[in-house]
Amino acid sequence: MATDLLIVEATDQFTVTMKAANSCKRGDILGYSSGWVKADADVGAGPLYGQCIALNDAGGGDPVSVARKALVYDIDAPYTAQTVQYLSGTAGGHTETRPGAGVGNLMQVIGYSYDTYYAMLECVPPREFEIFLSPDVLDTSSEPGLGKADTGWPGPELTLVETAYFKGRIPESVVGSIVIARMIGNSVNASAGDLDLTIVGSYDGTAAAPAANNQDTGTAITAGDWVQADADNKILTTDVSALFDAGFWLPGRTFGIFLDPDGITGAMQILGLYIVGLKV
């Protein structure tokens, strides 16, 4: 990339102040971490998603004009025509290569090249996404794999001596903290909930650096209970967001959750796991 990138046009402009001891160049992608700094897709840097494009050079503590969207011209012609641009693992930069997939780096599409000289860069605000996971086919209920049906709802029906699992994957474009993680059940005269939940997660790893299958174990939940009052034939939910702590909720992590009740009077039919998060 040219050291003096030209901003051809910019929209949605405003001014921010660079964080102390941090600087930027025109065309750098900026993010916010207790102050404005260069955005960085590398997991070792947070990662930190891009929120705007610098329109001028600035040093630590200096004001800098920024824009959400900018058409840039690079005299070095570094682009491949008609190619997606990603936030780079080099702070402030953008790249045509997905930055190290499978190791926790953020995949943020930051723009698109029109030809070898011009690219349109755009920082889009985070948006909510939803995931709904059915219980895994592996469970230790009295009806393993198939579950039961109760008042029209299918799923494993757990008592205090039975267990269930979920497995899923966090999107590679995830940012921020988890918004909602809620286990949803159908009460079969369930009461006295005492639910233990554990989580394990790992990245995919690479050929050169395979990942351990217990890379992170989040924060376990003991003696969890449902939010609603005990009642038969009601939907009961349990907040399990604590499993996905700040060190766990990172891009591209596959996870497994184990539900091991210490206590359920009656039975609880497990319908699914509902997750809401933010991604760019």
Residue 251: pLDDT band (50, 70, 90) is very high
Q: Which of 54, 57, 60, 19 is nearest to 36 (CA)?
A: 19
Task: Render pLDDT for 124-157 as a digit per residue (tens, 0 to 9).
Answer: 999 999 999 999 999 999 888 888 999 999 999 9
How far is it, in rounded angstroms, from Cα 157 to Cα 189? Answer: 11
State residue 2's pLDDT score.
53
Q: What is the rounded end-to-end Cα distance, in angstroms, of the chain?
A: 24
State residue 175's pLDDT score.
97
State residue 197's pLDDT score.
98
> Looking at this protein, which amino acid is placed at residue 62?
D
State residue 1's pLDDT score.
60
For residue 100, is pLDDT > 90?
no
Mean pLDDT in residue range 258-270: 96
Mean pLDDT in residue range 188-213: 95
- Average pLDDT of the chain, as a whole number: 95
> Looking at this protein, which amino acid is placed at residue 141?
S
* Domain 127-279 top-level CATH class: mainly beta
The tokens describing 131, both together, are 């995931």
DSSP assignments along 100-159, one per residue = STTTT----EEEEESSSSEEEEE-PPPEEEEEEEPPPS-B-SSSTTT-EEETTEEE-EE-
pTM for the model stands at 0.94
Classify burial at 229, counting beta carbons within 10 Å of its beta carbon; exposed 0-12, middle 13-18, buried 19 or more: exposed
Going from N- to C-terminal start, the domains of the chain cover: 6-122, 127-279
